[in-house]
Amino acid sequence: MSININLLANGEFISTDVSSSSVGELRNELEITSSANVNVGGTVRQNDYVLEDGAYVAYTSNNKVGG
């Protein structure tokens, strides 16, 4: 089973099919590091948060350097 989420990529939300049902599963599927914050609907969510069809998802890594 897959759901369709809107994933932030290059400054815009892209409709993306994923097989994950939670933020933790999405981290594995998209290889998102454990140090990154995952936002769903504009709020940082924990790994047990359940994803819904049509959710707006963005993630940011905390290890960026430079500017």
**CATH number of the structural domain spanning residue 45:** 3.10.20.30
For residue range 24-64, list pLDDT tens digits in order.
999 999 999 999 999 999 999 999 999 999 999 999 876 55
Is the residue at 23 inside a domain?
yes
Q: At 26, which helix (H) or strand (E)?
A: helix 23-30
SS3 content of the chain, % helix, strand, coil (to 5): 10, 40, 50
Is the residue at 30 inside a domain?
yes
Q: Which residue has the tokens 């369709």?
A: 4
Mean pLDDT of the region 20-24: 97
Q: 40 and 8 in contact (C-beta within 8 Å)?
A: no
Is the residue at 65 inside a domain?
no
Is the residue at 53 inside a domain?
yes
- pLDDT value of residue 62: 63
Q: Which pTM value belongs to this model?
A: 0.87
- Number of domains making up the chain: 1
Contacts of 27 (CB under 8 A, 6+ apart): 33, 34, 36, 38, 47
- pLDDT value of residue 13: 97
- pLDDT value of residue 58: 97
- Find the domain containing 32 and state its range: 3-60
